[in-house]
Amino acid sequence: MMNNSIAAILLAAGQGTRMKSAKPKVMHALAGRPMILHLLDMVRSLDVGQSVVVTGPGMDEITAAVAPVPTVLQQERLGTAHAVAQAKPLLKDFQGTVLVLYGDTPLITPATIQAMLERRSQAPHPAVVVLGFRPKNGGEYGRLVFGANGLQAIVEYKDATPEQRAIPLCNSGVMAIDGKHLFSLIDRIGNDNAKGEFYLTDIVKLAVAQGLTCSYVEAEEEELLGVNSRAELAEAEALVQRRLRAKAMAGGVTLTDPNSVTLNWDTELGQDVTIGPNVVFADGVKVASDVEIRAFCHLEGVTIASGAQIGPFARLRPGAEIGENAHIGNFVEIKKASVEAGAKVNHLTYIGDARIGAGANIGAGTITCNYDGFGKYHTDIGAGAFVGSNSALVAPVTIGDGAIVGAGSVITKDVAPEALAVARNHQMELPGWAETFRDKMKHLKKR
């Protein structure tokens, strides 16, 4: 149920010039998903009643990604207070707590926001709760300035005195603000500062001057990592991966070399799954319990049933469905194909647009020839069938239940159940030919 006492404004209009990209900064992915959607997921976990995303010109990609969450346009980038002001048409009558969050700060946790909301609810019910942190290097962060009555102001680094710059408690930019006062305070913020911008941080001193109380909550530095460059994106990715791995292991997954496994935001793993080193999960992977995924596998858009063994060096592409106790071995690629219970595809094989029946065995080097340059065609291999090594199955084609295909065959017609199909030239032997050939070549070489 939505909590109509909480709203959220997500600022996402930053150009991200240091990213050196045509893509909006907040659309760069972490664990396979745009940063802004990670933040929206966090907001949804709090049952926020209404969210608004502030975008900039030419950022239709963000509007499409966050839909149905409404967006408002910050036509000119005149500072954080100016950005928040763009949400006024949607939230001007809102009386609850308004969260101000940043699309390029996607690692903040629900627990931290919940702590801010709890502080807002405690007497004397501060009008503004600021999220602070103590970075190892304060750099150019704004500083939280305190007086006898608590938090008195946030001073931007460029406007701070040497004494204020020495304050260890820094401003993250994240705030929880009383909606009754938000826009009246925003309207009074000026731009008389070193950058000539309308700073949201000025809301604290204006609230204090009006006789309102301001407070703060502290968070860990890693939660508040802002992503403004490719290097910071990589740092954020490492943090997200660490969280995903920890969650997987807490849920009963064994990672034999956790730091080498790459998970996706939507990866689903059952209990007693074992994952070897250097395994990559892309979008849409669902793995049941008691599955082993060996080293150097790449999985995307695949479902794997219980008891299956995958890899090493297997590539499972979108549409792959691996049945119970099936085996997919080294250097095997599966695309848009079902491999049913107990089937084995163990070596150097491509299976695309196909069904491999229960208990079937596919020999090394087998290829389903599914594409003729114009269309994709289906190969159906029945239960218990055996396909010999180095066979080419030219689709569309059906191999019946229990049928055997001889090694090295090129199968272009359907094979009946329980039949043997061999499609290759008869072996020819010329006695003594090899010796004659070698002698000839040696003679030519001497000339």
Residue 317 in domain: yes
Segment 207-224 mean pLDDT: 96
362's tokens: 């596919």
Domain match, 138 and 235 both: no
Domain match, 242 and 210 both: no
Closest CA to 153 of 96, 97, 199, 221: 199
- Of 167, 202, 224, the residue that ends a domain is 224
Domain match, 22 and 164 both: yes
The DSSP bridge pattern shows strands 150-155 and 143-147 to be: antiparallel
* Domains contained in the chain, number: 2
The pTM assigned to this predicted structure is 0.91
Cis preceding linkage at 318, omega within 30:
no
DSSP 418: T
Task: Provide the annotated active-site residues.
Answer: 347
Domain match, 126 and 152 both: yes
Domain of 253: which CATH number?
2.160.10.10
Compute the distance between CA of residue 313 and CA of residue 230 in angstroms, rounded to an integer: 29
Residue 441 in domain: no
Residue 157 in domain: yes
Domain match, 183 and 242 both: no
CB of 126 within 8 A of CB of 175? no
Neighbours of 73 (CB within 10 A): 12
Give the pLDDT confidence of 40-91 residue by residue, as tens digits.
999 999 989 999 999 999 999 999 999 999 999 999 999 999 999 999 999 9
Domain containing residue 342: 230-421
Give the pLDDT confidence of 370-382 residue by residue, as tens digits.
999 999 999 999 9
Give the pLDDT confidence of 309-362 residue by residue, as tens digits.
999 999 999 999 999 999 999 999 999 999 999 999 999 999 999 999 999 999
Residue 428 in domain: no
DSSP 285: -
389's tokens: 């090594």
Domain match, 188 and 209 both: yes
Domain match, 277 and 407 both: yes
Domain of 190: which CATH number?
3.90.550.10
Domain match, 209 and 357 both: no
Compute the distance between CA of residue 299 and CA of residue 283 in angstroms, rounded to an integer: 8
Domain match, 341 and 215 both: no
Domain match, 208 and 306 both: no
Residue 20 in domain: yes
Domain match, 256 and 134 both: no
Residue 279 in domain: yes
